Amino acid sequence: MNSPRSAPGQASGRRKLITIEGLRKSFGAATVYDGLDLTLPQGQFISIFGPNGCGKSTLINMISGLLPMDTGQVLYDGQTIRETRISYVFQNYREALFPWLRAIDNIHYPLKVMKVGKRQRDERVEKLLAEFDIRIDLNAYPYQLSGGQQQTVSILRALVTNPEILFLDEPFSALDYEMTLFMREQIQKIYMKTGTTTLLVSHDLEEAIQLSDKVILLTRRPTQVAEIVDIDLPWPRTTALTTDPAFVDLKRHCLEVFWREVSRAPQQAPSKRRETQ
């Protein structure tokens, strides 16, 4: 099986990097991040996992530009977030889609904001739908679609701009288990086809391992990186893979790190720079 890094159309040449330096963030008296440094490769699927309240969503909200950081900077291959095309898929798809627009119009919306002409918009949307064989009534309004279908529309809307970075904030948490498994397969197909740098916040360790090239394990607050775990498993990754010994070993190791950090007193959290390429 080919990994997405060897798939046709995957960017080649020097490895582009996401660089996070000196990131600090507090909410009142609560310090969430106190000088986080982190370097990650672009062109990979990276999941973020950690203890409750450690600031997983806060992290991607800051590095995506949705939430201001107190101090620090984030660069995407040397460029600021304003110079980088990003898309974001929110946890609550019911609030993310415009209920007064049909599904197809929701997908078109970001292109209209970008002032892309109608003909080019139509061509880009048609190409996107053809690539992923979407079987949804796109003339329906969001309330007429199932939860999984609504989240699929949200993901398509995020992809139609051809983002350099795709952020996913617990996108399956409001779905039932059967739909969650289906959506994991869909996300894999998208990643394997596009090779888009993807950052996923997940509260499900099995999901994080199944979908990722790397899993970032976070500490308790003030939050640092406990470990970055490489997930060297073949693609695509079906549900059956989750019982494979290699998968089970990775999950066991991640759980050991997780429970170590959960039991650690906050002031004992490690504070060294993390870098992976």
Query: ω before 163 within 30° of 0 (cis)?
Result: no
In the predicted structure, residue 10 carries a pLDDT above the cut 70 = no
pLDDT in tens, 113-162: 999 999 999 999 998 888 777 778 999 999 999 888 898 899 899 999 99
Whether residue 196 contacts residue 7, with contact meaning beta carbons closer than 8 Å, is answered with: no
| Rounded Cα–Cα distance for residues 59 and 25 (Å) | 9
In the predicted structure, residue 87 carries a pLDDT above the cut 90 = yes
Q: Please, what are the domains in the chain? A: 1-84+164-175+194-277 (3.40.50.300), 92-163 (no CATH)
User: What single-letter amino acid sits at 140?
Assistant: A
| Rounded Cα–Cα distance for residues 159 and 87 (Å) | 7
Q: Is pTM beyond 0.85 here?
A: yes
pLDDT in tens, 41-65: 999 999 999 998 899 999 999 999 9
Stretch 242-269: mean pLDDT: 86
Q: DSSP secondary structure string, the chain?
A: ---GGGSTT---SSPPEEEEEEEEEEETTEEEEEEEEEEEESSSEEEEE-STTS-HHHHHHHHTTSS--SEEEEEETTB-GGGS-EEEE-S-HHHHS-TTS-HHHHHHHHHHHTT--HHHHHHHHHHHHHHHT--S-TTS-GGGS-HHHHHHHHHHHHHTT--SEEEEESTTTTS-HHHHHHHHHHHHHHHHHH--EEEEE-S-HHHHHHH-SEEEEE-SSSP-EEEEEE----SS--GGGGGSHHHHHHHHHHHHHHHHHHHS-GGG-----EE--
pLDDT in tens, 180-238: 888 888 889 889 988 999 999 999 999 999 999 999 999 999 999 999 999 999 999 99
Please count the CA atoms within 13 angstroms of the CA of 167 that sit on its side-chain side: 20
pLDDT of residue 179: 81
